[in-house]
Structure 1
Amino acid sequence: MVSTQNNSSIDGNQRQGVPELEVRPGGMFVQIRDLNPNPNPSPPTIKLKVKFGSSYHHLHISSHASFGELKKMLAEPTGLHPEEQKLIYKNKVRDSKSYLDVAGVRNGSKLVLVEDALSKERRCLEMLKDANFQNSSKLLKQLRLEVKKLSQQVESLHMKGCKEGRVSETEVENLTEMLMRKLIALDEIQVVGDPRLQRREQVREVQRQIESLDMMKLQLCSNGGGDSHNAHAFTSTNAKGNQRLHPKQHCTSIVKEALRNSESVVTTKWETFD
Structure 2
Amino acid sequence: MLRMKPKATRVSSPVKSTSPCGGRGGSETATAAVAGWEMRPGGMLVQKRSSDSNQNSSPVPNIKVKVKYGSSYHEIIISSQASFGELKTILAGPTGLKTQDQKLIFKEKERDSKAFLDICGVKNGSKIVLIEDELSRERRCAESRRNAKREKASKDIQAIRFEVDKLAKQVASIEMEINGGKKVMETVLLNMIELLMTQLIKLDGISADGDVKLQRRMQVKRVQKYIETLDMLKIRNSGLGKAAGNNIFTIQNQNQKEQRNQGNFINNPRPAVVTTKWETF
Is TM more than 0.5 here? yes
* Structure 2 partner of 1:70: 87
Q: Distance in 2 between matches of 1:43 and 1:60?
A: 13
Q: Distance in 2 between matches of 1:67 and 1:215?
A: 71
The gaps in structure 2 that reach 5 residues or longer are 1-54, 245-281
Q: Residue 44 and residue 157 in structure 1: after superposition, are their counterparts in 2 closer, same or farther (change >3 A)?
A: farther
Larger of the two Rg values belongs to structure: 2
Counterpart among 77, 80, 86 of residue 103 in structure 2: 86
Q: Residue 223 and residue 50 in structure 1: after superposition, are their counterparts in 2 closer, same or farther (change >3 A)?
A: same
> Are residue 129 (structure 1) and residue 120 (structure 2) matched?
no
**CA deviation profile, 1:207-252 (whole Å, cap 9, x unmatched):** 1111111122233345558xxxxxx98xxxxxxxxxxxxxxxxxxx
Q: How many residues are paired up? A: 190
Q: Distance in 2 between matches of 1:206 and 1:70?
A: 56
CA contact (8 A) 1:83 1:120 kept: no
Q: TM-score scaled by structure 2?
A: 0.57
Q: Distance in 2 between matches of 1:142 and 1:100?
A: 55
Supply the AA of the counterpart residue of 2:172. Answer: E
Alignment of 1:130-149 (within 5 A): 130-149=147-166
SS in 1 for 2:180: helix
CA contact (8 A) 2:196 2:223 kept: yes
- Once superposed, what is the RMSD of the aligned Cα atoms? 3.1
> Are residue 113 (structure 1) and residue 136 (structure 2) matched?
no
Alignment of 1:233-248 (within 5 A): none
Alignment of 1:9-88 (within 5 A): 43-75=60-92, 77-78=94-95, 80-88=97-105
Q: Residue 165 and residue 188 in structure 1: after superposition, are their counterparts in 2 closer, same or farther (change >3 A)?
A: same
Alignment of 1:115-264 (within 5 A): 115-163=132-180, 165-222=182-239
The gaps in structure 1 that reach 5 residues or longer are 1-37, 226-231, 234-274
SS in 2 for 1:93: coil
Q: TM-score scaled by structure 1?
A: 0.59
Supply the AA of the counterpart residue of 2:104. Answer: L
Q: Which structure exhibits the higher relative contact order, with contacts defined as CA atoms closer than 8 Å and separated by 6 or more residues?
A: 1
